[in-house]
């Protein structure tokens, strides 16, 4: 049977300790042992099913991890307190002093800053490349390279990674392919395409209500055990632990992810087609004009669409800010960072979520100061939303009457 991430989530059925339809929340920071030997065995990693200390794991965190592993089709998963709290331990676990990483140049600004400014303190170097060009990626690999790092759909330029092609390179050079799938949950299943490790910021689409920060690492049992090892596990020792109450909340929201992603994708596709027809420079993987549209189509789980993210170019930062402020005033959404909320969120990434990237490098990668990144919400009447957005664009001069009349 063909892999379907939402079906895997649906097939998980948990009971609370008193028969509740939601599993009970583990409200303890430490756990008791009936024998001293069991405690010793747990520290040695030999007492499966026993809980030691909440920084190591909790029942609530394991429930959520199991569900996310089912969604991504991996053996297991480890949840963390944030997306960066998932990314950073993975890279520290895979690399040591003298090692090298090849990364996409268009990634979340926090990840970029970590690789460019922080890991060099530990003598871990990174080469940033155009991830869409496999020959360029391979040329950047050295004898010290340990990791290929990318995002399924990049933040904020929405470039699409050829995960199968990158996986082949990783296997050829004995590297680990780490893929951040935050922008495309359900739509793309990187592990099924050859990724070794899949990461999400749970803060975004998976939780969906912008009230929780969280992250997850999905991978093999062996790798997750390494992350949790009490002696040298990066997740255990760096301490980015998710709170059990938050884990329980995200698990409940995960149950509706398939419904939400279909609506996010439908609304984003509708707006992207309208904006492009109006003459706006629009980037969306579902548009045939997107250079990687055929690639995304070949990788996707079709029923969940091309995702809820799109960009337009307003021409300048001043115009972008004017438009976003007006759209917020018209109750179309919020001028805010992050994504995956039920209301539309918009921001100018060059001066916000990607501001860690130097201006000259932003220009080199095609990140203009007028770029607006949209996380399209769950609007019931997307035609109505479009009409009001178009009025805003006309009012601030991002669109002209002549162009709209022609279309």
User: 62 and 89 share a domain?
Assistant: yes
Look up the CATH number of the domain holding residue 23: 3.40.640.10
Mean pLDDT, contiguous 10-residue spans, the chain (407 residues): 91 86 88 79 65 82 96 98 98 98 95 96 97 98 98 95 98 98 98 98 97 97 94 93 95 97 98 98 97 98 98 95 98 96 93 66 78 97 98 96 53
**Where among 202, 229, 254 does a domain terminate?**
254
pLDDT at position 405 is 42
For residues 116 and 201, membership in a common domain is answered with yes
Do residues 48 and 163 share a domain? yes
- pTM comes to 0.94
Which residues constitute the domain of residue 200? Answer: 5-254
The residues that bridge with 79 in the sheet, in sequence order, are 216
Q: What pLDDT does 367 receive?
A: 78
Structural domain total, the chain: 2
122 and 197 part of one domain: yes
pLDDT tens readout for residues 4-39: 999 999 999 888 878 889 888 888 888 887 788 777
> Both 209 and 294 in a single domain?
no
- The dihedral of CA 368, 369, 375, 381: what is its sign? negative
In Å, the largest CA–CA distance within the chain is: 80
Residues 174 and 74 in one domain: yes
Phi and psi torsions of 45, nearest 5°: 80, 20
pLDDT at position 16: 80
Same domain, 219 and 321: no
Same domain, 339 and 297: yes
Output phi, psi for 161, to 5 deg. -85, 135
Q: At what angle do helices 84-94 and 221-228 cross, to 10 degrees?
A: 100
pLDDT of residue 403: 55
Q: Both tokens of residue 75? A: 């053996």
Q: Are 239 and 333 found together in one domain?
A: no
Same domain, 242 and 265: no
Q: Residue 301: give its domain's CATH number.
A: 3.90.1150.10
Q: CA-to-CA distance for 12 and 114, rounded, in angstroms?
A: 35
Q: Where a domain ends, among 205, 229, 254?
A: 254
- Do 213 and 268 lie in one domain? The reply is no
Given 254, 270, 288, the domain boundary residue is: 254
Q: Mark whether 119 and 238 lie in a shared domain.
A: yes
Residue 81, both tokens: 């307190």
- How far is CA 146 from each of CA 101, 104, 320, rounded to the nearest angstrom? 6, 14, 40
Residue 234, pLDDT score: 96
How far apart, in whole angstroms, are the C-alpha atoms of residue 171 and residue 347? 38
């Amino acid at each position: 049977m063909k892999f379907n991430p939402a079906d895997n989530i649906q097939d998980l059925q948990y009971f609370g300790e008193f028969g509740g339809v939601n599993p009970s929340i583990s409200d303890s920071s430490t756990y008791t042992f009936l024998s001293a030997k069991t405690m010793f065995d747990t520290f040695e990693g030999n007492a499966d099913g026993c809980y030691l200390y909440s920084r190591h794991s909790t029942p609530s965190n394991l429930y959520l991890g199991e569900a996310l592993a089912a969604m991504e089709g991996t053996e297991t998963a480890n949840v963390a307190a944030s997306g960066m709290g998932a990314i950073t331990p993975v890279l520290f676990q895979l690399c040591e002093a003298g090692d090298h990483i090849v990364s996409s140049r268009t990634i979340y600004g926090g990840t970029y800053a970590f690789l460019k400014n922080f890991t060099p303190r530990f003598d871990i170097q990174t080469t940033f490349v155009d991830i869409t060009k496999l020959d360029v990626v391979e040329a950047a690999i050295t004898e010290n390279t340990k990791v290929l790092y990318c995002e399924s759909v990049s933040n904020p330029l929405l470039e699409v990674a050829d995960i199968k092609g990158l996986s082949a390179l990783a296997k050829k050079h004995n590297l680990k392919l780490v893929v951040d799938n935050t922008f495309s949950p359900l739509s793309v299943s990187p592990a099924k395409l050859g990724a070794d490790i899949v990461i999400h910021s749970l803060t975004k689409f998976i939780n969906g209500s912008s009230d929780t920060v969280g992250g997850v690492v999905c991978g093999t049992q062996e790798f997750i055990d390494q992350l949790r090892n009490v002696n040298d596990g990066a997740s255990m020792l760096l301490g980015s632990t998710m709170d059990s109450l938050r884990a329980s909340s995200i698990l409940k929201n995960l149950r509706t992810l398939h419904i939400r992603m279909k609506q996010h994708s439908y609304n984003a596709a509708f707006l992207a087609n309208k904006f492009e027809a109006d003459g706006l420079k629009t980037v969306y993987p579902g548009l045939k004009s997107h250079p990687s549209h055929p690639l995304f189509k070949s990788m996707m789980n079709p029923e969940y669409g091309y995702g809820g993210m799109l960009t337009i170019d307003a021409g300048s930062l001043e115009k972008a800010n004017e438009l976003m402020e007006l759209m917020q005033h018209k109750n179309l959404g919020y001028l805010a960072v992050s994504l995956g909320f039920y209301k539309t969120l918009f921001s100018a990434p060059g001066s916000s979520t990607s501001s860690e990237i130097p201006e000259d490098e932003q220009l080199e990668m095609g990140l203009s100061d007028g770029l607006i990144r949209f996380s399209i919400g769950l609007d019931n009447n997307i035609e109505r939303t479009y009409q009001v957005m178009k009025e805003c664009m006309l009012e601030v001069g991002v669109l002209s009457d002549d162009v709209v009349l022609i279309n």
